[in-house]
Amino acid sequence: MAGVSVPITCDRCRSLSDLTGNQGDALGISVVIPTYNRRESLLRAIDSVATADPSRVEIVVVDDGSAIDARSFVRLVNAHGIPVRCFRQQRNRGPQAARNLGIRRARYPYVAFLDSDDTFRADKVDRVMAELASGRIDLLFHAVSGMKSYNVLGALWSRYLSFAIPFRWLAAVYNPAPTPGLVIRRMRRLGAPRLTHCEDYFFLLRYASSEIRVRYIHDELSSVCRAPGTGGGLSESAWRMRVGEFAARRALLKERRFSNCTRFLVGTAVGVARVASDLIRGRYFG
């Protein structure tokens, strides 16, 4: 992305009910990228989004109050001719607040998420588009390079357990769909902007109702450029991640239903068992 950069103007934020998207129900994907104080990795993430049909894809960058305004160096189109729109929050509010704004601003019925230090595989968008065109899907997730344990559990559930364990129950136990591997149909559900750990898990729990139709792709269509839970992200310690998981499960109590309360209790019990396992392994020490 060498050369002259073109600033992109951000208009005012509106409520989700005001943003129906001007692409109607036409099949298309908006890739939402929140960013904070990143330039080179952000540009790499933007350029990793590719497709054979740029008319059905857009990239929505949300600058979460960076010291240097991302609109000063992000171009109107990426290296593959996909249009890029860039918005800015005047102060740092956290990644979920940025994702919420990206969801509101999305023009297409499906939203894929990409962190600004991760990348898509070159064929991801077209693979996902083909899956979405094959049937009515509300949530799609796939394997991610660099997240082996998630990939193993996702494949196990998809191949052998999905007929017996609905996705919403799987999600109550752990987050099966890491952000770089998640694609959703836009609905009137947003995440909790005040959470600073496992905010993506809260969003998934709130989104995963009994009515959603889920599909899993076994191929690694995205890559994370650092190990989950390590420095460089919000969940910098195993302990904070576990605490964040307990906080995120409160999303299940937003609607007072028996099934939600049961999922909350089951998920909490599994969470306690994971903390005990971590203590035995000495994961919180050193």
Read off the pLDDT of residues 135-182 as tens digits, 9 standing for 90 and up. Answer: 889 999 999 999 999 999 999 999 999 999 999 999 999 899 999 999
More confident residue, 118 or 239: 118
Kindly state the DSSP code that residue 283 receives in the 8-state scheme. T
- DSSP calls for 232-248: TBS--SHHHHHHHHHHH
Structure tokens at 125: 């968008």
Provide the CATH number for the domain formed by 16-226 in this structure: 3.90.550.10
Secondary structure string (H, E, C) spanning 72-107? HCCCCECCCCCEEEEEECCCCCCHHHHHHHHHHHCC
CA count, 13 A, side-chain hemisphere, 224: 21
CA distances from 129 to 26, 52, 102, 242, 281 (A): 12, 11, 19, 34, 42
**What confidence tier does 196 reach under pLDDT thresholds 50, 70, 90?**
low
Read off the pLDDT of residues 215-261 as tens digits, 9 standing for 90 and up. Answer: 999 999 999 986 555 444 333 467 788 888 888 888 888 877 888 89
In this prediction the pTM is 0.83
pLDDT at residue 189 greater than cutoff 90: no
Read off the pLDDT of residues 73-96 as tens digits, 9 standing for 90 and up. Answer: 999 999 999 999 999 999 988 888
**What confidence tier does 8 reach under pLDDT thresholds 50, 70, 90?**
very low
- Say what the pLDDT of residue 228 is: 52
**Lowest model confidence (mean pLDDT) among 2-16, 34-48, 112-126, 185-199:** 2-16
Quote the mean pLDDT of the chain: 84
